[in-house]
A and B are shown apart, each in its own frame.
Chain A
Amino acid sequence: MSDTTFDDLRDLYQEVILDHGRRPRHAGRLAAFDATAKGDNPLCGDRVQVFVKYAPDGSIAETSFDARGCAISVASADLMAEVVAGRTKADTAALFAAFRELARTGACPDCAASLQPALERLAPLAGVHEYPSRVKCATLPWHALSAALEGRGEASSEGGAS
């Protein structure tokens, strides 16, 4: 695009976000799933439902989502589905904690080395840290996923939690 109006927004809306926001690979309900939970941000009306299928060893085999939300939240849900496949619940929880740090501060210098490949994949979302009101867009799918993994039906990213 030759238009330079939004050049300084390319840090937030990187091509990978626009691409996954527009054409998510993991959208839709899984034909068979073991757990599901909804995430809801009542302040802005964003909603996401995450579906989880477990492998025989209890790790995550596959996830998918239904989302009504902005490009950031859809892209985040899609990238999340990509990076959590094959992970244990504990590993996923650790990755969520690391991703929250990334979304809030733009970096996670103290994060475990084992998480770095996944965090690199999620790095395009780090730009939200400059937009405090948008951090919740990126973390909402993760809240829904952890609710599903913990057997809670609903998660909310309202208020101070992000």
Chain B
Amino acid sequence: MNVTTRPEIVPAVPPATLDIARIREDFPILRQTVRGKPLVFLDSAASAQKPRVVIDAMRDAMEHQYANVHRGLHWMSERTTDAYEAARDAVAALLNAPDRNEIVITRNITESLNLMAHSYGRGVLRGDQAVLISAMEHHSNIVPWQLLRADRGIELRVAPITDAGELDMDAFEALLADGKVGLVSITHMSNVLGTYTPAQRIVQIAHAHGAKVLFDGAQATVHRRVDVQALGCDFYAFTGHKLYGPTGIGVLWGRRELLEAMPPFLGGGEMISSVTYARSTWAQVPHKFEAGTPPILEGIGLKAAIDYVQSIGYDAIAAHEAALTDHALARLGALEGVNILGRAQDRGGVVSFTVDRAHAHDVATLLDRQGIAVRAGHHCAEPLMHRFGLESTARASFALYTTREEIDFLADTLARVREFFT
């Protein structure tokens, strides 16, 4: 969808609006009750709910058109291969990747990042180089690099963030200054703070210092259109289940020449060209990185999810979620004893908070009793928690099906949680 607005006109309403009531009809689970209360699902950043089109696409495949892919010389296999490979096209279009063969299908984004640490880290980077991450990474963008460090002696650098939860760009650039950083692996949107990192600037600075850039787009792809060519990055990873698709499928996009220079990750069927006991040769990119039977049904589901998101349009989704986030920050921010973590200027639909005198787990349990699902804990980002002197927070996260009324209910209930623990 193309929406043009003249810059001098500030629209009173978002340029594109969602018919939330109709969208909620698309998600069967949202009609469920929890503990006798309507489900208020504010944990979509952990995993999003699935629209009926995704459920139907996967069920239809199992009922009518399913076989293993890429190998059967029969009708079912050929048709299933087409359906599965259509996911690769959908992902390429989603990311505006120049070449569908640059889309590597993985099991989840954690596998995508481990693939990078293994194949790029061990196969391309040298032991005297460094990998630069930020202080707001998910564990899955920390631990693979620690394993690489233990294995190859590579240095792991961490770019600090400000108290507002934004990347400290001066410090970031300083950490690249000696030219030792071969790869910047960094979140595009924090799963805890909601912060969008300034992706284009990151790429410009990193490239100027000879480093490639990999973005962890697990959160970002859900909320905004991602164009890897506009970003100018070298690699981009995301996961299907946060984008309204099934679990068990992730994506790594990389520039073709970079993927071709990387050795395989896992070995097995699908990823070979020929095998003898003396030696094996590898399939072309991307199949070189896709050992074993791929996530066939999940690919079919992911394509349906991407089609669904595209049919609604990122302009409308982003406007809706920005309005929700502003509303949540206003309502929760006005509650005495409720403290919001992260005040980035550019942020997405994730709000982490603490409640005075109440542990996040107790908060989550009380909210759950009212049917409100939030995440509580360290959000797989322990170093970030420690950066702010915390062990845990509660986190409300929003999706295209989230309503303003749900956020009001959260705020009203939080006010009572506060009384409960006072």
Contact = CB atoms under 8 A, between A and B. Distances in A.
A45 B378 contact: yes
Contacts, number: 57
B357 interface: yes
Nearest to A7: B369
Interface in B225-277: none
B35 to A, nearest CB: 8
B362 interface: yes
B376 A44 contact: yes
A5 interface: yes
Interface in A3-17: 3, 5-6, 8-9, 12-13
A5 B359 contact: no
A72 B376 CA distance: 15
Interface in B334-392: 357-362, 365-366, 369-370, 376-378, 382, 385, 391-392
B129 interface: no
B391 A5 contact: no
A69 B365 contact: no
A71 B362 contact: yes
B75 interface: no
Interface residues of A, number: 23
Interface in A39-93: 43-47, 68-72
A87 to B, nearest CB: 29
B146 interface: no
B416 A70 contact: no
A134 B376 CA distance: 12
Contact of B362 (A3, A45, A70): A70
Contact of B416 (A5, A46, A137): A5
Contacts of A46: 361, 391
A44 B416 contact: no
Nearest to B391: A45
A1 B420 contact: yes
Contacts of A47: 391
Contacts of B385: 45
B47 interface: no
Given A22-B357, A131-B365, A5 B392 contact: no
Contacts of A134: 361, 365
B413 interface: yes
A18 interface: yes
A18 B362 CA distance: 11
Nearest to A9: B369
Interface string A13-27: 100001000100000
Interface string B285-304: 00000000000000000000
A116 B203 CA distance: 66
Of A6, A22, A45, the most chain B CB neighbours within 10 A belong to A45
B419 A71 contact: no
A72 B421 CA distance: 12
Nearest to A2: B419
A68 B391 contact: yes
Contacts of B369: 6, 8-9
A9 B359 contact: no
B413 A9 contact: no
A3 B361 contact: no
Contacts of B362: 13, 70-72
B420 A70 contact: no
A3 B419 CA distance: 9
Contacts of A1: 419-420
Interface in B395-422: 413, 416-417, 419-421
Given A1-B419, A3-B419, A22-B357, 5 more contacts: A6-B417, A44-B361, A45-B382, A47-B391, A70-B362
Interface of A: 1, 3, 5-6, 8-9, 12-13, 18, 22, 43-47, 68-72, 131, 134, 137
- CB-based closest 6 A-B pairs: A70-B359, A70-B361, A45-B378, A5-B416, A45-B391, A44-B377
